[in-house]
Amino acid sequence: MKKIKKYIYLIIFFLIFLTIVFLNNNNNFKILKRETIYPILKIVKNNEILKYINLGYKNVFLPNTAYGKIKLSQKKIKLNNSIYNVNHGYGKNYYKPFYIENYKGHIYIIERNGNMLKLPSKDLINTKDNFKSSKIRSDIKKFNNIYILDTLIIKNEIFISFRENDEKCKKFKIIKSKIKEFLEFQIIYEPNECGNNIQAGSMQYYELNENDGILFSLSSPFFLVKNETNLSQDDNSIFGKIHFLNFKNLKAKVFAKGFRNNQGLHVGSACILSTDHGPEGGDEINNIKINKNYGWPFASYGEPYEKNDINDYKFPHFLKSHINNNFEEPIFSFLPSIAISRLIRIPDNFSNIWKDNYLIATLNAKSVYRVKFDQECQRVIYFEKIFIGSRIRDLNVSNDGKKIYLALENSGSVGILQAYK
């Protein structure tokens, strides 16, 4: 009898061992462990569980929002590119950054490494699984080690901003191609200046003095380094600015300056809006005006990541008042940071009670923020945080304005927001 029990225990132990080995090699379990188990363990370890239980008065989750019910569906896309990222304190993270464009009944998916595919919009909406996508053929790989920052379609042309990851110094470029069976890209902007960590690159169509062109953003190249340089304030540098690129002569001029990592850009009839990543705290929404200065690296409502001793906490590192130091105040500054990303104006067709609202994507907060500005875009009247559960790299809207597309980079899925009828 004792021998039988011994054998039973050995068999149970062996089965448990095999289960652990299987789960550790199972990709779905790895994702579960990375995205759910590790964060929960970290919360429990730090005795922060009560903070997450006591979320606040009348917090709601999708499909409920403060104004009506919103449906979120997700469609997995077969992406080839995987970006490895470590910096969250509870394990390794794999992100799949991509960008979304909407053109003539098709959704275009552009991965960070230049892989491109398209699929019919109706299939994305109506098909549960196994919808067909086709690879977009192009000559984009003629550029070396590209790291795509943004995409934009204007009429029948696609524009792509990216950096070339040269080991010595990274360079920024904008290319374009006619949309056809095989995309043939040509460089339309290629400055000589290079930097060590180029981000932003957001693009929007804009008309300046009756000249067609695009506004595009460029981060400070040293925004992760403790000793910041002043390139964002240097009129001879391309970095830390919003530029206007004239389509006629393909020359760029500084439109506004003083930015850290300005990833979001929206051009509307009432105003131009931009989002900017702060340091530790201080993510900004800015009302962009030509020839204005937004303060970085001198003014910020955040503080540096690096704090070496108690003296670093006694006085603010950055100027807090922008206007008292001849800089433009942000419309709003988030404390703590939300890792602010793209923003769009919500179409009027989307929801009768979401009219004149904007949607802001976030990365680390894994949420979208629905925001209402006043008519002059000088202040935030209200905002609502809507938890999505994934880093959101990009936003776009359907042709009928009734759907909002989200680039969910944790899972490599397209999220689709729709108002309940």
- Residues 318 and 230: their CA atoms lie apart, in Å, by 13
SS3 173: strand
Task: Output the six-digit token pair for 361.
Answer: 């994507």
pLDDT value for 53: 47
What integer pLDDT is reported at residue 37 of this predicted model?
A: 55
- Lowest mean per-residue pLDDT among 340-344, 395-399, 410-414: 410-414
Residue 27: pLDDT above 60?
Answer: no
Band (54; pLDDT cuts 50, 70, 90): very low
Question: What b-and-e string marks burial along 49-79, b requiring 16 or more CB atoms within 10 Å of the CB?
Answer: eeeeeeeeeeeeeeeebeeeebebeebebeb
| Rounded Cα gap, residues 253 and 236, in angstroms | 10
Q: For all residues of the chain together, what is the average pLDDT?
A: 85
Q: What is the pLDDT of residue 362?
A: 97
pTM of the model as a whole: 0.84
pLDDT given for residue 89 in this prediction: 43
- Pick from 42-56, 226-240, 259-273 the range whose average pLDDT is largest: 259-273
Longest pairwise C-alpha distance within the chain: 93
What is the predicted pLDDT for the residue at 295? Answer: 95
**What is the set of domains in the chain, with CATH numbers?**
1-54 (no CATH), 63-419 (2.120.10.30)
